[in-house]
Homo-oligomer: A and B are copies of this chain.
Amino acid sequence: MRTAAIIGTGLIGTSAALALNRRGVRVYLADRDEDTLRTAASLGAGEVGAPPERVDLAIVAVPPAYVADVLVEAQGRGLARTYTDVASVKADPQHAAAARGVDPETYIGGHPLAGVERSGPLAARADLFDGRPWVLTPASATGREALNRALELISLCGAVPVVMDAAEHDHAVALISHTPHVVAALMAARLEHAHEDAARIAGPGVRDVTRVAGGDPRLWEEILTANSTAVADVLEDYAADLAKVVAALRALGAQDLEKRGTGRADLVDLLRRGNAGQSRIPGKHGAPRANYVAVAVVLSDAPGELARLFAAAGAAGVNIEDVRIEHSPGQAVGLVTLQVAPDSADTLAQRLTERGWDVQR
């Protein structure tokens, strides 16, 4: 790929432009908002204006509802040899594109899973897609050249390509991104008017469950609206399970022994299914979490303590796969949990203990 056009210089468009620029691709930028466009250009994302000749790939980085219109216009003026988009839903834009006569041979749908926490060109980073999944949703009429150009884009951005059917994609993101967001927001909403003492005793569990609920409501309204049916479908299944759990908990408070037995069985069933589902989520590098072993270390809250700890781990030649610092309200002591490969855990624990760390296995 030698040349590319980016239509829409928000977070995703500008980040892709920065990534391509970094790898020597000549990038032409367009956005209907002049300020946004100038900001992206000033960040080094590319040149403003129409390219002098047909580019290798045009990347349509506009909201889902505008993808088809922009594709029709761009193909109409022969902007590029191949086209892709980066919208967070795929079925609707692709149906709309087909309905408006977009040439399916040169177009392939795409969705990089990155960056939903922020927006705008100022938040853009050349490494935004590093190691993230980037879904492609080819239609039956999609040509080989469009597929390969999109794969080249993903490779240049350092992302990991995953090929899926458009409808399958929308159900997948409803399940692993949009529904978890709603679930977290619903839980967080329960805390809005919680008693001060209840908030005071909140710990790491509820903090993790509700973390994503801190996201921008306008951005999430747009995301959820674009995939509303698929999300509603998953939430209805969730609601059915929820009703069963409420019934089970009510039964557990009953006098009737048989009712209590049924309640108990239903509750345990849900908890076991929760275990099974949780274990399906990949950890870092796509490895299941269970492949790592936790080594917990007690440390004081002084500057430099973490540095000393990681220096000691580094000296032991152990690669830390994940870190969690447990929060200690009101106390100058914390617990750091290091996730490491199973064959490194003993070495790490031993070396840290030798160096005087308080290690908990």
Contacts and interface: CB of A to CB of B under 8 A. Distances in A.
Interface of A: 113, 116, 125, 127, 130-133, 135, 158, 160, 162, 164, 168, 171-173, 175-177, 179-192, 194-195, 197-203, 205-215, 217-218, 220-221, 224-225, 228-229, 231-232, 234-239, 241-243, 245-246, 249-250, 252-253, 263-264, 267-268, 270-286, 289, 298, 301-315, 317-325, 327-331, 333-335, 358, 360
A113 B27 CA distance: 55
Contact of A211 (B189, B208, B301, B310): B208
A234 B125 CA distance: 41
A330 to B, nearest CB: 4
Contacts of A243: 239
B329 A284 contact: yes
A2 to B, nearest CB: 25
A133 B329 contact: yes
Contacts of A214: 274-275, 278-279, 289
Copies in the complex: 2
Given A162-B200, A183-B186, A199-B176, A275 B217 contact: yes
A209 B209 contact: yes
A160 B330 contact: yes
A208 B208 contact: yes
Contact of A228 (B203, B215, B253, B306): B253
Q: Which of A180, A194, A215 has the most CB of B within 10 A?
A: A180
Given A220-B271, A286-B200, A238 B125 contact: no
A201 B235 contact: no
A220 B249 CA distance: 12
A203 to B, nearest CB: 6
Contacts of A197: 162, 164, 168, 172
B200 A327 contact: no
A188 B330 contact: no
A306 B339 CA distance: 13
20 contacts: A127-B360, A135-B201, A160-B331, A162-B201, A172-B197, A177-B203, A177-B205, A181-B205, A188-B274, A190-B241, A192-B276, A199-B280, A202-B280, A210-B278, A214-B274, A228-B249, A229-B253, A239-B239, A284-B334, A320-B325
